Amino acid sequence: MFVDEVEIKLRAGDGGNGCLSFRREKYIPKGGPNGGDGGDGGDVVLLCDQNVGDLIDYKFKPHARAQSGEAGKGSQCHGKNGQDCILKVPSGTVVHNLETGQVATELLGHGDRVILLKGGKGGLGNEHFKSATNQAPRQTIPGTPGEHGVFRFEMKSIAQIGLVGFPNAGKSTLTNLLTATRRKTGPYPFTTLHPKVGAIDYGCGLPMLTIADIPGLVEGAHGNRGLGFRFLRHIERCSLLAFILDMGAEGGRSPMDDYHILLNELECYDPQLLGRPRLLIGNKMDLEGAQGQMEEFCEKFPNISFFPISCATGDGISKLKAAFSSIFHRVSDASA
């Protein structure tokens, strides 16, 4: 099971109460107030961990709270502070506060640490209230309650290239060829049920590129057809969108129609995605009729970078891999 969105109720620890106590020792006829302070409550802390792949840990545990501080004790003993509640989340997690409707925080890089909810302060014992005119104070201050709230954790993959296409267009096979990931592939739609990020390694000290393979889109995905289009959140941060099209026109579909449908689904999800740099990948060029489909497509869209490949034979893969590096770094330089 892959979980990229959860709702969770969180509560920081309460502060411990201050203690009401008086010194009583043998041979000391006059004691005095010696009540200690309460301990502080623990915080709720979010920690970004690259070893966490999704949010499944919170799917079946939708409640978490930090430890409360201990109450103060006599002999000026302070209560122990409560332990923090540390929640590990994957890179790219956005935290929404459902009570305010605002984005509370966002964790992008490994090791990022955010205190989401502060624990309560410990109360004061009666030793703080002694004075020349109040030698036996009975006043104390209770601990304050910790913060609490209801939040939605939403995971958005961090990748530089987003791979978009219809089911069975060859996205997972292409990801396997370009990266070290091993996605499930098969001659039937919807073999990809959840997003996956892989790294394209160019060797020779060149920087790697990350590519996000998301489940296939179909016409009407914005109306929850197929797997819907909620997985598109995983390409929101991509600098480059790569559309992979079935040039073999299997199933009687037209590559041009597929392209228009994909653009429409992106626009229904977020119109800003259409402003991203994009390139087109024509897969299954080894099939009969693919060459004619490609020529017709390039004639209609002459200004878009088009790369014919065949995942079955490996033709064009190395050229596409080099093009990703060239195009992406050109995009990065332009946006800098």
pLDDT, tens digit, for every residue of 121-176?
A: 999 998 888 888 888 888 999 999 999 999 999 888 777 888 888 887 888 888 88
Pair (81, 103) in one structural domain: yes
Q: How far is CA 4 from CA 55, 88, 94, 154, 196, in A?
A: 6, 14, 10, 6, 12
Pair (134, 258) in one structural domain: no
Pair (70, 143) in one structural domain: yes
Q: Which of 37-46, 61-70, 188-197, 256-265 has the lowest mean pLDDT?
A: 188-197
Pair (185, 299) in one structural domain: yes
H-helix or E-strand containing 327?
helix 317-335
Q: What is the percent of the chain where pLDDT is above 90?
A: 26
Pair (124, 246) in one structural domain: no
Contact (Cβ atoms closer than 8 angstroms) between residue 281 and residue 309:
yes
The arithmetic mean of pLDDT across residues 80-97, rounded, is 92
Give residue 63's pLDDT band: very low, low, confident or very high (50, 70, 90). very high
Question: For residue 143, what are the domain limits?
Answer: 1-155
Pair (25, 52) in one structural domain: yes
pLDDT of 251 higher than 70: no
Give residue 223's pLDDT band: very low, low, confident or very high (50, 70, 90). low
Q: Which of 131, 155, 179 is the last residue of a domain?
A: 155
CATH of the domain at 14: 2.70.210.12
Q: What are the backbone angles phi and psi of residue 59, rounded to the nearest 5°?
A: -65, -40
Task: Give the separation between CA 125 and CA 36, rounded to whole angstroms.
Answer: 5
Better-scored residue on pLDDT, 211 or 14: 14
The arithmetic mean of pLDDT across residues 304-321, rounded, is 86
pLDDT of 230 higher than 70: no
Task: Give the separation between CA 221 and CA 166, rounded to whole angstroms.
Answer: 11
| pLDDT value, residue 220 | 65
The count of domains in the chain is 2
pLDDT of 38 higher than 90: yes
pLDDT of 113 higher than 60: yes
Pair (115, 178) in one structural domain: no
Pair (149, 181) in one structural domain: no
| pLDDT value, residue 71 | 92
| pLDDT value, residue 188 | 46
The arithmetic mean of pLDDT across residues 268-285, rounded, is 85
| Residue listed under structure tokens 């791979």 | 163
SS3 state of residue 200 = strand
Pair (203, 78) in one structural domain: no
Pair (127, 234) in one structural domain: no
Q: How far is CA 13 from CA 34, 40, 48, 156, 229, in A?
A: 25, 8, 21, 29, 38
Name the CA radius of gyration of the chain, rounded: 29
The arithmetic mean of pLDDT across residues 171-195, rounded, is 68
| pLDDT value, residue 144 | 94
Mean pLDDT, the chain, integer: 83
The arithmetic mean of pLDDT across residues 182-190, rounded, is 55
Pair (240, 274) in one structural domain: yes
Q: What is the percent of the chain where pLDDT is above 70?
A: 87
| pLDDT value, residue 250 | 62
pLDDT of 329 higher than 80: no
Pair (13, 150) in one structural domain: yes
The amino acid that residue 276 corresponds to is R
CATH of the domain at 226: 3.40.50.300
The arithmetic mean of pLDDT across residues 49-54, rounded, is 84
Q: Which of 155, 184, 210 is the last residue of a domain?
A: 155
Better-scored residue on pLDDT, 133 or 28: 133
Q: Which of 120, 155, 190 is the last residue of a domain?
A: 155
